[in-house]
Structure formats: structure tokens, C-alpha cells
Chains A and B, each alone.
Chain A
Amino acid sequence: MGYAAARGGRDAITAAEQLVRDERESSSSPWLGIDQLIDRQRLAVDRVMGEGGLWDPHLAGRALQQAEGDSIEAAHLLRSYRATLPRFAYTEATDVDDARLLRRIVPAYRNPPGPQLLGRTTDYTGRLLDRADDDDWRESAEKRAAERDVLRSDAAAQPGGADDEADDTKLGERRFGRLLDVLRGLDLVVDRRRTDDPEPVDITRTATRPPAARSARLAVMARAETGALVNLWYRNVLGPDGYIHEVTLGEVRHAELPVRITHPHTGGTVEIGSVRVTEVEAIEDLDGADEDRERFDVGYGLCFGHNEKKAIAMANLDIACERDRPIDGRASELEQSILMTTDGLDASGFLEHLKLPHYVTFRSMVDRKLAVRAAAGSDEP
């Protein structure tokens, strides 16, 4: 019978699943534990938590393990698990200045208020593939880890040694000013306070579409696929769209943000944990005829985990979208692109559905081709 590849029923599906599981799990190499993924593939785990919209390193590691490293697939696993869970509470709004800094850079000024704290970054590391023998590498890594443990126990209270994740320092726990505060002090930033978006839109419970509140747009981007956001940003720099003008980054932060909820019985605010986030403020030069050309404006990006590419793209697109908002309140094309095309599950799911059988629809298309041909033939003298 036709289209044998798409038939075969339950046995074929079970066999395909078995094949995936066997090849993944019965490898002769050592078992890839979730703790290894969390510790050694940190950025992959962070990305999956961000795109999956769920902060849980263990589950994200499990999802990556199950998805054989496919980050979109892993995000899908997390999200469909999340969809089975009831929603008990919303968090309280948290001041991002309450976050414990792990890294912070300010490209706009040489000496900004607060530190330039490089933290854990490969920004200035030569991209050289380390081809050392793997066993040697492992041995020297274990040796260094042992030395570091000794150093740490010796100098547990010594401040200022911000060599790694600022674990040994109180630097990250201090509150620092933001570049934006400086610019506001100089009256160099437009006032964009607004009252039309008081409560953040929950994009997992409503169908977000343009024109949407800014909070919805930011939430969509926080969950968006990293590559999609980066590409949309670049398309607007070099491609046909061109909404991005001249952006300078004000803040790039990686920090631990406390999570607080209202206690259901006492009504008090309780801290129930923390999430790591990447936060970016992007200063935009206003140059439009109808814009305040004496001042700058600012775009905002914040996403789960350490994912600077994503947060930078998000902040740039946020301000680009804000500037592009037409006066009559209609959605810009950029807003529609952000809201409707950046979700990894949407895009890859629809793309992959093309593998499903389409012979019913294709037969109908062939029917129309022949009808056009017949109509053309009957027109000829």
C-alpha cells in the first residue's frame, strides 16, 4: 500500500523508540550523568532552561540527556512537562539590583559606577582548540581542582579575590548603581514610564499576538530560541529589515536573582530560592524626526541562565520594537516577527511536520495543476 514509510502502526513506532533508546544508553562509553551536564555543559543546560521556561537545572540536564543534546528538543521536553503542572502562585516583582552579581561589564564608559567584573567569560580567550591529550588534560584539571580547594580553605574569609565566580568575595552582594542612573542624572534618557502594562502578561496562559503589551513581548523573547533572536537581530543590522540603529550596551550582568512569593497563609513575602539570569540594558541613540534627539532611550533584556547572546539580542530588539511602534497603535512588522516567529518549538515543530504524509493534500494540488492545464488548453484556438 502507498506510503509504506508512514505506516506500520504501533510496532514500528515502538521499535523506532527502542532504537533511539538503545543507541543512546547502551554505548560502551561511561554513563553521561546529569551532574556532569550541569557542571560541565553549563551553557547548554542554561539555554534549555531559558527556552523551556523552567528553572530546574536537574530536569534540564535530564532533558538534554534524553534529547541527545538537541537543545530545542530538550526545551520541548521541559515545556511539555511544565504544562502538566498546576500553577499555584506568581512571584513577587523583584528589584534586579537585589541580585548577587557574578559578572558585570559596562561597555559605554571606562569607569562606570560600580565594578567592571569580568567573572566567568571566554570573551578575551583565544579560540584555540585545545588538542592536549584527553587523559593529560583530565589529570591536570584534577590537580588544579585539588590545589584550589586548599587555597579556598586557607583564605575563606579573604575578600577581593574575584578570580572565578566571585564565590570568595562579597563584591557580588553589594548593590551598585547602574549606568542608567548616571544617564538619568545627566538628563540624557527619555522618560518612558508607562501605566498601560501594570501586571506582566502570562504568555503561557494567553494567546499573545500583536499588538501586545511590552511585558508580553519581553516574556516571549525571554523564552525564545537563542539562534532565532540572534538571527532576527542580525537581520535587522545587515538584512532587509533594518530596525536596529546604533546601540551601545549599558549593562551586561550575570547574577543570582532571588525568587519571592507571597505566602498563601501568612500573606508575608518569602524567598523560596534563586535563579541565575543574564540581564542587559541597551542604550539607543534616538535620531528619528519625531524622536527626542537630545536624549537616549533604553532597551531591556533578561533571560534565564548565562546566555549573553540572547539577552543582548533581546535588549536590542526591545528598543527597536518600541521605536518602531506606529502612532495609530497598530503593530509593527518587527513586533509581529518577535512575537510570532522566534519560538523554537513553534518554528521547529512546524518545520518538522513537513515530514508527515501529505498525500491527501498533494493529490488535491495535482488536481488543480491539471485543471489549470485543461483551462489553458481550452482557451487555445
Chain B
Amino acid sequence: MTALDSVSLDDLLDAPSSGSSEDILDEHAKKALRGAILTAVCVPGYQVPFGAREMPVARGWGSGGLQITLAITGDDDTVKVIDQGDDEGVNAVNLRRLICSTTGAEETTEVDEATVIQTRHRIPEDPIGVEQTLGLQVPVPEPLRGVERNMVELARMHAEADYARMWVSLYEDIVRNGVITKSTGYPCLVGGRYVIATTPIPRWDVPRLDHAPFLSLFGAGRERRIYAVPPDTDVEPLTFEDVPFEVEHTDGATCSTCGATDAYLVEIPPLPTSADITRWVCSDAAWCRRQRGDEEVTS
């Protein structure tokens, strides 16, 4: 990864095109981002405000995750980008081409080759190690927005760890629906202190964050917030002693491509007119491919 450079006016005037002329972020922006990232790592789960820059992708399309990746990636890195678990989703392809063409980093679809993994909505099924960093694209960083809209009050609730209304809403959910209906982005207590939105990865992926060996960085560009789950940190889904946390599961669902049952599967519904049954397929395309013993990578 590149060093945390300090850049003076004279440096910039002397070398106006220092680095790549195609850089999306100038060095001042990278420095500010790295500062925010370091703060986020120091205060796990706290949403650190940062002066998000405009990216050449629309806000809501991974501009926060992209800024994190650009701030920590240099030409000695190898980057994997997935959307819905898939390296070949168009937005993943688009972000990967931006990242690699502007940082000079290598690209890969294999988790074990990547130093930086940028992802939308999934954590890869493969193990991620202590040397690797996961950057998650965050649409909505505020876990309490469902119970409170006023941002000043939200700041107070986090500052005082006042999560009472969150607990009440979970209780009311059970009373009304018999289950906790929160699907993705499940609220979790990080390091016993801050509640975060796990943004929106499925519940299937949430246990992967608890005492993970790797660093997870969450970037919300539109809302200008970065937060982190550092390695080996408690990540505890909010639930009650007698209501176990549930991950997505459908009896009998098997990946129709690789046969896996122990992976996050997504549905391929049958046509209304056909007699077919629902088929399932792994959302992590690279993992699925390897289960089939297929080394071929297509794009």
C-alpha cells in the first residue's frame, strides 16, 4: 500500500502531474480518507464523518467503497471487486476497471490472491486472512434510522449508547410477526459499544464478521461516513437470549451448478407457466466455479 504522504503546495506546483494523470483522487483527498479510516479502526463501529469527494461513479453506486479502495490501494496491490458476490456483475466490472486503471493494481477474481476486496452486499465464502482488507459499499450507514429520523437525536443516541428504542423495535417485531423480520444489513453491536448497519450483507455473512482475522472498512460516500470492524473484534447481532439469530435457509436448497448447500444461495424462480421448480445457485460466483473444479475465468 502507498505511504501516507504529506503533500505541500510547492510539491504540487513542482510536479502538477505527480502520480498518475488519471488519478481520481488527489493526494490531499487520499490523506484525508486515510485519516478517517485510521480513526474508524481506532473506534470500532463509530461512523467517522469524512469529506467525501465526487467520484466518477454515481453516489449510491459504490462511491464510498471506491474512495476507501483508492485511498488504500497502490500499484503493488491486487484487487478483487464483487457485486452480489459476482465478479462479473456490470457494476463490479466497471469499478474494477476504474480502480485498476487508476492505481496500477493487479486484478483478480480469487480471494486468496487479493490484498484488497471491494464488495457490494456480500462477504466472499472463502476465508479472508489477516493481511487482506475488505471494503464494503454502504448505501445506508445509520442502523437506527428505522426508529429515529432526526440526525441530531441519532448522534446523541450513539454517543450515549442509548439503543433502547432499537431493542423495543426488535421486541415489537417479534410480537407482531413472530420473528425478527430484519433481512439484510442486520444491526450488530461492535466491540460492545456501537451498533452498526452491516450494510446490506445477508444475515448469512454476519457471523463472518465476529472476530474476523481481517479488517472490514465500510464506506458510505453519499452520507459521508466511514466505519470499521477491525480484526478480532466482537460483532454481536442484536437479538434476545431466547430468540436465536437466524441466517437465511431454505430446506433442500442446493446450488444447481456446484451442488453446494453450505453457501449463500440465490433463487432462480420458475416461469409462472412452467412446471419447473425453483432452482438455486451460489451468489459467490468465483467460489461456485472452484467447487466445480473449473479454473477458467471468463469476463
Contacts and interface: CB of A to CB of B under 8 A. Distances in A.
Interface residues of A, number: 62
Contacts of B55: 80, 83
B210 interface: no
B91 A349 contact: no
A367 interface: yes
Contacts of B63: 349
A349 B63 CA distance: 10
Interface in B25-57: 25-29, 32, 49-56
A65 B250 CA distance: 51
B268 A361 contact: no
A84 B58 contact: no
B100 to A, nearest CB: 11
Nearest to B21: A84
A86 B12 contact: yes
A368 to B, nearest CB: 5
Nearest to B203: A364
Contacts of B59: 345-346, 349-350, 353
A357 B86 CA distance: 11
A340 interface: yes
A379 B176 CA distance: 12
Contacts of B9: 88, 264
A210 B151 contact: yes
Contacts of B159: none
Nearest to A345: B59
Query: At the interface, is chain A mostly helix, strand, loop or mixed?
Result: helix
A372 B58 CA distance: 36
Given A84-B23, A363-B248, A375-B177, A356 B152 contact: no
Contacts of B281: 1-2
B80 interface: no
Given A360-B85, A367-B248, A371-B179, A206 B51 contact: yes
B291 interface: no
Interface string B9-31: 10010000000000111111100
B292 interface: no
A9 interface: yes
Contacts of A13: 90, 93-94, 97
Contacts of A379: 178
B150 interface: yes
A349 B61 contact: yes
Q: Which of B49, B151, B200, B268 has the most CB of A within 10 A?
A: B151
B58 A76 contact: yes
Given A86-B28, A88-B12, 20 more contacts: A7-B86, A7-B90, A10-B93, A10-B299, A206-B51, A333-B150, A349-B58, A349-B63, A350-B139, A352-B60, A356-B61, A356-B83, A358-B84, A360-B266, A361-B121, A361-B202, A368-B181, A368-B183, A372-B178, A378-B178
